[in-house]
């Protein structure tokens, strides 16, 4: 199964991806996680991406397309794309690479959340810098406050989860990313629209139910 998870920043893509990959044995390919790992390694790509990420903009398409096509090639089986494609140009780049490889996406899962719900989710997000696990100070608390459940140590608040950057990221989403859903509608892809403005477990149930209905 090859899935794309779409939705605004803070919609719950990472949270739901973790559950989807655990259930279906897929690879989780998160462009944000890959970029953060590149930054931690102080690679050339990480240095190029830094400014865009810190200000809530998008890293240039050519860098992202190369990075994600590389990750897809390394994932031998099925996968879930999280945070990619984020522009129509990226969606076209992905299609071109899939066509060349004779592959297609099984479905696009669209997590739908109104902007009003986003700020609280993102400012309350806490992340593990070592294993990438994601928590929330109210909605998904770790067993011990401020500590990763996987024994990695302290959780951090991402710098780009500050209220100012969140508002830029939402603006970027509406200006450049929201159109990606329309792109897949035009391509008549199988689109699973999920009400993600409900508790985390209810969203997971809705996603699993929708995936069970897929003919793959």
Residues near ligand AMP (CB under 6 A) = 9, 31-32, 35, 52-53, 56-59, 64, 83-84, 86, 90, 160, 169
Dihedral, CA of residue 142, residue 147, residue 153 and residue 158, to nearest 10: 90
Plot region of 24 (φ>0 → left; ψ -120 to 50 → alpha; else → beta): alpha
Contacting range for ligand ADP; rule: CB under 6 A; set: 21-29, 133-141, 143-151, 170-178: 133-141
Q: Is 158 noted as a catalytic residue in this protein?
A: yes
Least distance (Å) between residue 100 CB and ligand ADP: 29
Whole-angstrom distance, CA of residue 28 vs CA of residue 20? 9
Q: Is 23 a catalytic residue?
A: no
Binding status of residue 132 toward ligand ADP by CB under 6 A: no
Query: How long, in residues, is the chain?
Result: 216
Find the catalytic residue in 18, 86, 121, 126.
86
Show the 3-state SS of 80-122.
EEECCCCCHHHHHHHHHHHHHHCCCCCEEEEEECCHHHHHHHH
Q: Which segment (69-77, 134-142, 146-154, 184-192) binds ligand ADP by CB under 6 A?
A: 134-142
Among 203, 206, 207, 211, binds ligand ADP (CB under 6 A): 203
Task: Find which of ligand AMP, ligand ADP, none residue 196 binds, CB within 5 to 8 Å per kind.
Answer: ligand ADP
- 8 A C-beta contact, residue 189 and residue 107: yes
13, 18, 121, 126: the active-site residue: 13
The residues annotated with a catalytic role in the active site are 13, 86, 125, 158, 169
């Amino acid at each position: 199964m090859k899935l794309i998870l779409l939705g605004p920043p803070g919609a719950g893509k990472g949270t739901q991806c973790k559950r989807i990959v655990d259930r279906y044995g897929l690879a989780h390919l998160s462009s944000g996680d890959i970029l953060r790992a590149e930054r931690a390694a102080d690679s050339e790509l990480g240095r190029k991406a830094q400014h865009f990420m810190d200000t809530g903009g998008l890293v240039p398409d050519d860098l992202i397309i190369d990075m994600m096509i590389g990750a897809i090639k390394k994932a031998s089986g099925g996968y879930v794309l999280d945070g990619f494609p984020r522009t129509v140009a990226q969606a076209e780049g992905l299609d071109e690479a899939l066509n060349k490889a004779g592959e297609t996406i099984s479905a696009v899962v669209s997590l739908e959340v109104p902007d009003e719900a986003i700020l609280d989710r993102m400012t309350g997000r806490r992340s593990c810098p070592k294993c990438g696990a994601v928590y929330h100070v109210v909605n998904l608390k770790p067993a011990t406050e401020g500590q990763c459940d996987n024994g990695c140590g302290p959780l951090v608040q991402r710098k780009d989860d500050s209220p100012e950057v969140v508002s830029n990221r939402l603006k970027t989403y509406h200006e450049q990313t929201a159109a990606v859903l329309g792109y897949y509608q035009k391509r008549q892809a199988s689109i699973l629209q999920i009400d993600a403005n409900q508790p985390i477990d209810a969203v997971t149930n809705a996603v699993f139910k929708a995936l069970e209905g897929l003919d793959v």
